[in-house]
Amino acid sequence: MIERRRTTSTAVARRDTLHDRAARVLDANWTGTSTVPSRTLYPHQWSWDSAFIAIGLRHVSSLRAQLELETLLGAQWGDGRIPHIVFNPAIPLDAYFPSPDFWRSSTAGRAAGAPLTQQTSGIVQPPVHALAAWLVHRADPDLSRERGFLSRVYPALAAWHRYLLHRRDLGGAGLVSVVHPWEQGMDNSPCWDAPLGRISPAPARTFRRADLEHGAAEDRPTDLDYGRYVRLAMDYRDGRYADGGGQFAVEDPAFNALLAASEHALARIACELGAVGTARHARAERLTAALVERLWDPREGLFFCRDLRGAGGLIRERGIAGLIPLILPTLPRDVVTTLVRTASGPHFGVGDRVRLAPSYDLEGPSFDPHRYWRGPAWFNTNWLLERGLNLHGEHERAADLRASLLEVAGASDFAEYVDPYTGAGCGARGFGWTAALTLDLLGSREGTWG
């Protein structure tokens, strides 16, 4: 009995130490109104980073978590889009590229309702925000109600979802499309190689790789791919950020699964505010059904991206995005069973071959354990996978993944991403969402979004 008590005390001490370390990362990255992902590599506010960060901040300061989301929503465009970057005017232009003078949001985005006095990018990122807002509210309902948090963010979140559902259904089948790889968040995934192959890259002299000043070139996107990213962004900007006419349009399973999960969360927010959330739950279920109809391949046991340009069709590259629909509560049971089998099989190796789920197929031709989104493991995607496994009753698998996440986060000094086999850190250290989601795993054992 004495030995067991000692073991328990040691575990609690380690947990408290990891909690304190993670909290210090968020303190160091806090600007007073929001949290940067990294003081060096990413010195501004990023959209889905802030959503994940708010989810972790709720365990440290509910007020800061609310401010995180309110600051981001304060830069929302008139058409409802939440830009993927909100720029800090105190940061020099050469600290990050593409910088505000590249996006020209207040002029090029005027027709779409871009803010006149705040500089942002013109593209978006995955819609985790309503889910984050609901979880932040639940952490301290009294403070949330006292500040009118949900009543203030609900109209903005509803407008955001409206923009995606009405302006980004470029395939006409009920799913949202991304118009740039940066929008999906998994920037350099091999899933984009085929559609990007149609894009003529911007000349090297027209842009500067600020990212290479903070990361090894062999870990980052190639110059050719980066040139294509820049070309797509330039064309979208020069088209006044109008949707539907670009050369890149892809239906992505992770983006749409997160939208469906956030629709469920928005329904719960509506109910909290005294409205009826039935229509939003129904919309989330329609999104889930469309995901299965459009992107599910039962023979491969995975969701794939669908290219809406060129020859079209499914992009048969196995990325981690294909597992993210596990977060959806009404996913058909046979799909869940098959996805769990795929996650633990040879392509992703969860619970067997790897410490954390890789971002891309371990056996794929483009796999690289260190190159940005072409194999390394990321904490936000593994956190989503852990939540999905818990949601569908795979508690033992979820517990194993949770333990690996916490161990790797601490050992890597909260790295931006890691080698999936060894857990060795890559990219920036003291990374915002890594620290935030560590706090959430330490502070919450929820198997549902609640």
Structure tokens at 244: 């539907």
Q: Please give the Cα distance from 23 to 64 (Å, whole number).
A: 12
Neighbouring residues of 10: CB distance < 8 A, sequence distance ≥ 6: none
| Contact yes or no for 281/269 (Cβ under 8 A) | no
Give the CA diameter of the chain.
Answer: 70
Bridging pattern class, strands 302-303 and 85-86: unpaired
Give catalytic status of residue 352 as yes or no: no
Among 70, 252, 307, 416, which one carries the catalytic annotation? Answer: 416
Among 187, 193, 285, 400, which one carries the catalytic annotation? Answer: 187
- Name the β-bridge partners of 84: none
Sheet of 377-378: strands edge to edge? 377-378, 417-418, 425-426
CB-based burial label for 174 (10 Å; 0-12, 13-18, 19+): middle
Give catalytic status of residue 300 as yes or no: no
Q: Please give the Cα distance from 440 to 60 (Å, whole number).
A: 10
Q: Is the dihedral of CA 52, 58, 61, 65 positive or negative?
A: positive
Secondary structure of residue 76 in the 3-state scheme: coil
* Catalytic sites, residue numbers: 187, 416
